[in-house]
Amino acid sequence: MLHLFPSINNSVQSIRFKTLNPCISLSRLCHFKAKRGFDSLNQTSSVQNSVAVFWDLDNKPPNAFPPFEAVVKLKTAASSFGVVRSMVAYANQHSFSYVPKAVREQRRERKLLNQLENKGVIKSIDPYVCKVCGRRFYTNEKLVNHFKQIHEREHQKRVNQIESARGSRRVKLVGKYSMKMEKYKNAAREVLTPKVGYGLADELKRAGFWVGTVSNRPQAADVALRDHMVDVMDKRKAECLMLVSDDSDFVGVLKEAKLRCLKTVVVGDADDGALKRVADAGFSWTEILKGKAKKEAVSVVGKWKDRDILKKLEWTYDPEVDRKLYGSEDMFDDESEDLDFDGSDDGNSSNYIHKEDSGAWWELDTESDADSSKSQ
């Protein structure tokens, strides 16, 4: 863009940004590199009031709440602290394959209702409607069979056709089938049962999260999430970090974030946990879902603004700044040059000082001493 505005290009190139001194944190050494031009200006403006959300799914999965609704409430609360720039979640393969107790009970009840409907014991008042083609069925099992035999096969054909295409043809096929594929996904979410787990990863992705899957080794998700948080802090991509976890292993990362003058918010069920004691603000899942966290965020942001204003008003003495503004050393050098300390009076003054200091300070001069000094 700079080549379109030569005058702006010359002025922007003359701007130089001073980098911060390398600061040694608790876990690693970081350096902030200076950037010039519009890139640094846009980065500074985008970082202000930006929020990054990090979710430890191994420690705090949304078992008691529907994943999509939980993410929407979490994002609403996070947006009260600023603009949500990124949302990241990490978990191992076991967390995505695990089915909570509440979901297992719902599936068991649905299976029992299907058996009763097939035997004619009970009958649904409203028919089951297919949200893809609009056909109606009197039993849920017939709707599921219809969906698998027709719509699931059609969807798989579209996916295979897109994957086999290349170049512009692939782009045209994606645009052609995008509406149909989105309609199928929305309908399949209610009709079909996920083959693995209860669709946690798909629900998080649908709500805007970037989901990372790690191995089943102990602390693998914690290490990956911690590294991602440090990378965001190193690149200065966010001003506020929101962590969804109760794991005390993240205390060091939160302390490092505070050393870098970043705001920290923790979401967890532990009322007096180690993370909430370190963070600037802490909320529970109940407060997030009920909207209480969004109301309390207003006062928290107000305190942050007051703290930032007080920091700007604090005065600190910097000798380098005073030297550049007033030139104190130059003034002192000029005055020292004017002074004459090389004894230009042929040593008379030095002899006089030596004579004055020849006697003790408490001894008074006698008349003979005064006459001898006059004769000399």
28-50 pLDDT per residue, tens: 434 333 343 434 434 444 456 89
Query: What's the average model confidence in pLDDT over 300-321?
Result: 77
Q: How confident is the model at residue 18 (pLDDT cuts 50, 70, 90)?
A: very low
Contact 107, 193 (CB under 8 A): yes
The one-character DSSP state at 216 is S
Q: Could you give the C-alpha distances from 255 to 54, 246, 260, 306, 337, in angstroms and in order?
A: 16, 15, 9, 21, 53
pLDDT at 122 over 70: yes
Q: Alpha helices of 260-291 — where are they, by DSSP H? A: 274-278, 285-290
Q: Alpha helices of 60-124 — where are they, by DSSP H? A: 67-79, 93-97, 101-119
Which residues of the chain are in CATH 3.40.50.1010 domains?
50-97+200-311
52's enclosing H/E stretch is strand 50-56
pLDDT for the residue numbered 252: 92
Strands 29-30 and 23-24: antiparallel
pLDDT at 125 over 60: yes
Q: What is the pTM of this model?
A: 0.65
**CA-to-CA distance for 55 and 130, rounded, in angstroms?**
35
Does 37 or 320 have the greater pLDDT score?
A: 320
pLDDT at 104 over 80: yes
* The pair of three-digit structure tokens given for residue 71, joined into one six-digit string: 């993410």
Residue 34 identity (one-letter amino acid): A
Dihedral pair phi/psi, residue 331, rounded to 5°: -65, -40
pLDDT for the residue numbered 38: 36
Q: How confident is the model at residue 12 (pLDDT cuts 50, 70, 90)?
A: very low
Tens of pLDDT, residue by residue over 188-215, are 988 988 887 888 888 899 889 999 999 8
Q: Is 49 left (phi over 0), alpha (psi -120 to 50) or beta?
A: left
Q: Evaluate the CA torsion angle 353, 357, 363, 366 in order and state its sign.
A: negative
pLDDT for the residue numbered 301: 83
Tens of pLDDT, residue by residue over 209-255, are 999 999 888 888 999 999 999 999 999 899 999 999 988 889 999 99
Q: What is the CATH number of domain 50-97+200-311?
A: 3.40.50.1010
